[in-house]
């Protein structure tokens, strides 16, 4: 967990307790339902928690905002962001029910109250609006945008304008070209000076 404190401070005792709870909880649950690769579980804080918090490094979500996490898997980036922003509501969505079971158990055990969960495909979510959609390595940008655009409110209430924020890796030139979008691209290695983030990027598309 030290790697989180290397880049972020000013946490409440409750937030520190919640972050500290993630390693034992995910280690225990991952043995029952595999949501994180076995070799990755020892690097949970760098590869999953800090990676998720790159969104917090660029977007200061305001209290009362609604954020949807698409294809949350084991709860990333939604769970770390919910701890970081306790006044923001996070709605975590995944089409695989057993993954949602893990997220629900982790959130309950860690006392994270500002999370709701839905076992669904994002295309099936109707009659709800969010300031932001977040995702990590879920689908090509053009698909993410097609799914999320109808769910987003327009506006500019955070340090970024409302929209889609997705975490991706590798060479994204073709994917961005095919999307027809012009996302703002942030190199995560410029936020966190760790070798793991060398080929990792954050993309923001305004609603």
76 annotated to a ligand binding site? yes
8 annotated to a ligand binding site? no
123 annotated to a ligand binding site? yes
Instruction: Return d(Cα 175, Cα 99) in angstroms, integer.
Output: 27
93 annotated to a ligand binding site? no
Tell which residue, 197, 131, 192, 193, has the closest CA to residue 167.
197
155 annotated to a ligand binding site? no
Instruction: Return d(Cα 102, Cα 134) in angstroms, integer.
Output: 19
Q: Do residues 90 and 84 lie in contact, with contact meaning Cβ atoms separated by under 8 Å?
A: no
Could you give phi then psi for residue 55, rounded to 5 degrees? -65, -40
* Count of H-run helices and E-run strands, the chain: 7, 7
Q: Which residues are annotated as a binding site?
A: 71, 76, 122-123, 136
Q: Which residues are annotated as a binding site for S-adenosyl-L-methionine?
A: 71, 76, 122-123, 136
């Amino acid at each position: 967990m030290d790697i989180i404190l290397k880049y972020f401070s000013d946490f409440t005792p409750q937030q520190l307790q919640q972050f500290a709870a993630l390693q034992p909880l995910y280690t225990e649950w991952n043995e029952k339902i595999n949501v994180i690769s076995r070799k990755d579980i020892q690097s949970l804080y760098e590869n999953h928690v800090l990676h998720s918090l790159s969104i917090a490094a660029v977007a200061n979500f305001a209290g009362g905002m609604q954020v949807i996490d698409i294809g949350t898997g084991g709860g990333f980036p939604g769970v770390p962001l919910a701890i970081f922003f306790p006044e923001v509501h996070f709605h975590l969505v995944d089409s695989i029910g057993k993954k949602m079971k893990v997220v629900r158990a982790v959130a309950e055990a860690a006392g994270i109250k500002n999370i709701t969960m839905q076992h669904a495909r994002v295309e099936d979510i109707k009659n709800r609006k969010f300031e932001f959609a977040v995702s990590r390595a879920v689908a090509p940008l053009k698909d993410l945008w097609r799914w999320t655009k109808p769910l987003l409110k327009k506006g500019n209430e955070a340090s970024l304008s409302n929209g889609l924020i997705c975490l991706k890796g590798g060479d994204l030139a073709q994917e961005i070209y095919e999307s027809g979008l012009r996302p703002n691209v942030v190199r995560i290695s410029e936020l966190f000076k760790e070798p793991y983030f060398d080929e990792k990027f954050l993309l923001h598309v305004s609603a």
